[in-house]
Structure formats: C-alpha cells, structure tokens
Amino acid sequence: MKTLSFEQIKELATKASDNEVAGIAADINQLLSRNPVLFVDIAPLISFILGRVNALVILSKMELLWDAEIILRTVLETFIKFLKIVSQENLVDLEKNLMSFGLCSMK
C-alpha cells in the first residue's frame, strides 16, 4: 500500500470537499423545487449554512484546522435544524418547525 504525503492527502480532501458541497447544493435545490414556498422561509438558514461551509473550505485550505473545527460545529447544528425542518411530511408539522426556529412566513 502506497503512503501518501500530507500535500496529497490535503489535495484529495479538498477535491472530496468540493464534490460534497456540490452534492449538498444539488440536494437542497431538489428539495426546494418540490416546495418553492419553503424557500422563502428557509433561505436565511440555507444562506447561513452555505456561507459557513465556504468558510470551512477556505480555512481548511489555509491549514487553519482548529478554526475550521469551531465553525464546523455551528454548521452541523444548523444543518441538523435544516434537516428537521425539511423532513416533515405534512404542512402543519412543517409550519410548526419553521415557527419554532423563527422562520415561518407561510400564513
């Protein structure tokens, strides 16, 4: 088995990260295309997540992993909230979750 250098690992991780970000963006787009009204309510949350993911990528490329890890916690927490919101089967539960996070304009 071939041993990789730190630079090779960093390059592989960066490529994987870029691919994952593109995949997440595509998944979000698919979710929102099914319910465009939802976009108005969760746009601030999506903007927050994507902005922090961008910061993670930049900090990781700069090898500021300690700083990136701190931001990662807020990204994960916010992404879990996002998943809880969009995983609702009916509009009543969806609206209730949006309201609990201060994101509802559906009325």
- What does the pLDDT look like over 41-84, one tens digit per residue? 777 777 888 888 888 888 888 888 888 888 888 888 888 877 77
Q: Which residue has the tokens 């700083």?
A: 67
Which tops the pLDDT comparison, 101 or 52? 52
List Cα–Cα distances, 13 to 9, 19, 80, in angstroms. 6, 10, 23
Predicted confidence band of residue 102 (pLDDT cuts 50, 70, 90)? confident
Predicted confidence band of residue 93 (pLDDT cuts 50, 70, 90)? confident
The rounded mean pLDDT for the chain is: 75
